[in-house]
Structure 1
Amino acid sequence: MAERIYPALVAARLRGQASYRLSFALDLVAQVIAQSLELVVILVLFSRVDALGGFSVREVLVMYAIAGVAFGFADLTAGQLDDLPNYVRSGTFDAILLRPLGSLPQLMVSDIRLRRLGRVLAALVVYGYALATAGVHWTPWTVLLAVTAPLVGAVIFGAIWVVAATVSFWLVDSRELANSVTYGGSAFTSYPITVFSGWLRRLFAFVVPGAFVAYYPSLALLGRPDPLGAPGWVSWISPLVAVASAAVAGVLWRFAVRHYRGTGS
C-alpha cells in the first residue's frame, strides 16, 4: 500500500506547484541566486588570497559544488522536517501517528517543494566546471565517485536533518537549534575543513559528520593527501559513513517516536 500512496502524495504536491508556473519560476530563480551568492563569497575570498586552507580556488569549487548538490537534494527530501516543532506543539503529529504509514516518510513527502531544485541546478553547473578544470585524473573509480559523491552527501545531510529534528520531541522550540546543525552544516561543508580549528572542526567534521559530505570525496577526486594527516582510505569511506548515519538517524527517530506522549499528556 505504501509504495502506491507515497508516489501519489508526491505527485499531488508537484501538480499543485506546477499549476502556478510564474510563482514556481520565480521561486526557482530565487534558489539559484541564493546558491550563487555563496559562490560569490568564495570568489571574493580568492580575490584576496591564493589558497584557502591549502587549496586552490578550483579545488575549493569542487567541495562547494558537491556540498551544494548534496544539500539541495537533502533540502528537497528532508527540509520539511523543519516544520516538526509546529506539528508537535499543535498536536498535528498525533494525527500523523494514527495513519497506517510511517511517520517519518509522511513528513518527508508532506511538502516537497520543487523550487529547491534551483540550488541543485546552480551547484551542478559549478560542479561540471570544477571537475573539468581542477585536474582530476579520470579512472573508472573517480568517475563513479564523481557521480555518487553528491548523492552520498545528500544521504548524510538527510540523516543529520532527521537527528536534528528529533530534538523537537524534547524541546518546546528547537527550530533554531536544528537549523544551526543543518544549514550551518551546509556552510561548513562548502569549505575545506582545514580553514576551521578546534572544537568547531571536530564537531561539524566528525560528530555531525560534515567532512564526509564533500571534503574527503574531493580529496579522493583530486588525488590529494589529507593535510590533517588522515590515511588515504578515509577519503573513500563516505558511503559507509552515509549508511551508518542513516542507521543512527533511524534508531534515534524510532526511539523519539516511541517516547512521544502527545500534547495532551
Structure 2
Amino acid sequence: MVRSYLLLAWTWTRAAAAYPASFALMLVLGFLVAGLDVAVILVIFANTTLLGGFGRDEVLFMYGAAGTAFASADLLFSNLDRISQHIRSGTFDTMLIRPASTWVQMATDRFLPTRAGRVLQSALVLGYALAVLEIPWQRLWMVPVMLVCGLVIFGALWTFGGAIQFVLTDAPEVANAWTYGGGQLSQYPLSVYGRDLVRGVTYILPLAFVSWQPGLYVLGRQDPFGTPEFMRFLAPAAALVLALAAAFAWRHGVRRYRSTGS
C-alpha cells in the first residue's frame, strides 16, 4: 500500500513540477496564506498577555504542533473528500478493478505537492516555539508523538468523511466540518472554549489529543478542566482507535457502493 501511494503521488508531483515557475509560486503562496493564522495570533497578543491562561509562545507551540499535523494530513489525505465526484460520475468503478487500494487511489487523486508550503510554515513556527520555551529535554519526546498521532487522527477524519459520502453521495462539507474545522479548533488552547465542547472533542471526537492533552505534558501545565494526568499519554491509543474505526467505515462504504451503470 505504501509503495502504491508513493508511486501515484510521485506521478502527480512530476506533473506539477513540469511547470517549475507555477510550482514554486504555489509553494510560496501556500506558505504565505498559512502565515495569516500566525498573524492573527500575534494581533491577539498585541492586545493581551494571555489567551485562555497561556502565553504567546505557548499558543504558538500548540499552533505549530497542530498546524504541522493538520497540514501534513491535508497534503497526504485531503483528496479523499473528492470521492463524491467519482461516485456521481461513475469513475469510481474503474478504481475498483485496478490493482491498488481504492483508499490509496483516492488519497493520491490529483495529489498537490504544493501544499507542502503549509507544512513548512507550521513546522517553522513549532521550531521557533520550542527554541524560545524553556522545556525540559525529558519532555521533548512527546513532540514527535504529537505530530504522528495528529497526522493519524486527521487522516482518519478524512477517511471517515470519504466513507460517509458513500451514503450521502454529495456532502463533502460534512468532512470539511470535521477536518478543516478540527484543524482550526486544535490550533488554540482548548481552555478558550466551553467545557461541553471540550468534553466532546476529548471523549467523542478525539481532537484534544492532537495538541491539547500531549501539549499540556510538554509545557508542564495542568488541565484547567481537571482531566486526570494519564490523559496526557493517550494520544497513541486515541489515534489507533480512530484509525481502525475509519478503516472499517471505508471498507463498509466500498462494499455497499453500487455502480452508476455508466
TM-score category of the 2 structures, normalised to the smaller one: over 0.9
Pairing of 1:1-265 with structure 2 (within 5 A): 5-139=4-138, 142-264=139-261
Q: What TM-score, normalized by structure 2, do the two folds share? A: 0.94
Deviation at 1:126, TM superposition (A): 0.7
Give aligned-pair identity as a percent.
40
Secondary structure of the 1:149 match is helix
Deviations 1:88-123 (A, max 9, x none): 111111111122321111111222211111111001
**What RMSD over aligned residues (CA atoms) do the two structures have, in Å?**
1.7
Higher mean displacement: 200-209 or 126-135: 200-209
Q: Given the superposition, is the C-alpha separation of residues 10 and 212 from structure 1 closer, same or farther in structure 2, using an over 3 Å criterion?
A: same
Deviation, 1:3, is 5.9
Q: CA deviation at 1:178?
A: 1.4
Paired residues, number = 262
Distance 1:3 1:117, change over 3 A: closer
Structure 2: distance between partners of 1:122 and 1:66: 11
2:187, 2:211 within 8 Å by CA — same for their partners in 1? yes
**What is the identity, as a one-letter code, of the residue corresponding to 1:38?**
D
Asked whether the 8 Å contact 2:157–2:175 carries over to 1, the reply is: no
**CA, structure 1 residues 163+3, in 2 after alignment: closer, same or farther (shift >3 Å)?**
closer
Q: Which residues of structure 2 form unaligned runs of 5+?
A: none
Aligned partner of 1:202: which letter? R
Please state how far the C-alpha of 1:167 moved relative to its aligned partner.
1.6
Q: For residues 116-165 of structure 1, what are the alpha-carbon distances to aligned partners after superposition, in whole Å with 9 as ceiling and x for unaligned?
A: 111110011111110112221111xx232122321221111100111122
Amino acid at match of 2:191: T
Change (3 A) 1:204 1:85: farther
Where does the alignment leave 5 or more consecutive residues of structure 1 unmatched? Answer: none
Where 1:170 maps in the other structure, the secondary structure is helix
- Measure, in 2, the Cα distance between the counterparts of 1:80 and 1:243: 21
